[in-house]
Structure 1
Amino acid sequence: MARFQPEALERLERAQEIRIEAGTRKTIIWIVTVDGEVYVRSVRGIAGRWYRTLLRRPTGAVHVGRERYAMRAIPEERAEVIARVTAAFAHKYARSSVVRSMLTPASAAATLRVEPERETS
């Protein structure tokens, strides 16, 4: 399991929103970390376009400000981890009026772990 460098992880932890690059599209989404691992999920569950694109081709990038991090998306299947990710979303975005939409079983089913990926030239 690859991990982001500490500086990148800190930047990802602090970000309220990121742009995820999946295929040719960039979508603004939320992001959380749990035990030094990075997670994203689709508010539209498994029907989310960017989510489906990453399932077909799991490499892409996350953009935080001017930084771009090449990444690989891995579906998270461990129920205990998904529960902790749900709690992390609830905590980080507690002030948002739409946070509940990220805490549904449908959204939880679309949880991806994000790992750094080396870019090839």
Structure 2
Amino acid sequence: MTAWNDSDLRKIGAAEELDLESERTDGTLRAPVTMWVVRAGDHLYVRSVKGVGGPWYRGTRSRNQGRVAAGGVRADVVFHEAGPGEYAAVDAAYREKYGRYTSIVEHVLTDRARAATLRLEPR
């Protein structure tokens, strides 16, 4: 597992939104999808509100890699499924960062969304 450098971790973690492009089986990138991103410790996470059935989430599962752009950083990444042991920290990060969007943030705090939590790691 490769770790983020401090600068990229800080910039991406502070960005309001992240653009995610997942890689198809032929190696080409899908169109970018804009979403929320959070930092919990030294890791970055995204979640699918629609759970594992969400279109962009399913796209990440074909090669488990792609590209993200946020906070002035563009990086090739590997998508790792987060485990239940990570959910509480990710929930807290979403509440802290996006809590001002009360009616929206609750959608990323459901069991369905938790099951579709991806940890982003640089490659």
Q: Same fold (TM over 0.5)?
A: yes
**Alignment match, 1:44:** 50
What is the identity, as a one-letter code, of the residue corresponding to 1:14?
A
- Match for 2:86: what amino acid? V
Classify the secondary structure of the residue corresponding to 1:73. strand
Among candidates 80, 101, 109, match of residue 103 of structure 1 = 109
Supply the distance in 2 between the matched residues of 1:70 and 1:20 (Cα, whole angstroms).
10
How far is the alpha carbon of 1:5 from its aligned partner? 0.9
Cα deviation, residue 8, structure 1: 0.5
Q: Match of 2:32, SS?
A: strand
In structure 1, distance between residues paired with 2:76 and 2:46: 15
1:15-62 CA distance string (max 9 Å, x none): 010100113121001111111111111111111111111112111011
State the 4+ residue runs in structure 1 displaced beyond 4 angstroms. Answer: none
Alpha-carbon distance in 1 for matches of 2:38, 2:81? 15
| CA RMSD after TM alignment | 1.2
1:64-97 C-alpha deviation (Å, 9 max, x unpaired):
15531110000012x2211211111111100013
Q: Is the 8 A contact 2:11 2:71 kept in 1?
A: no
TM-score, L = length of structure 1: 0.90
2:86 corresponds to? 81
Partner of 2:96: 91
- Cα deviation for residue 115 of structure 1 reads 0.3
Secondary structure at the residue paired with 2:21?
Answer: strand
Secondary structure (helix, strand or coil) at the match of 2:20 reads strand
Structure 1 stretches lacking a partner, 5+ long: none
* Whole-Å separation in 2 of the counterparts to 1:66 and 1:5: 14
Structure 2 portions without partners, runs of 5+: 24-29
> Under a length normalisation based on structure 2, what TM-score does the superposition of the two structures give?
0.88
Per the alignment, in what secondary structure is the counterpart of residue 98 of structure 1?
Answer: helix
Residue type of the alignment partner of 1:109: A
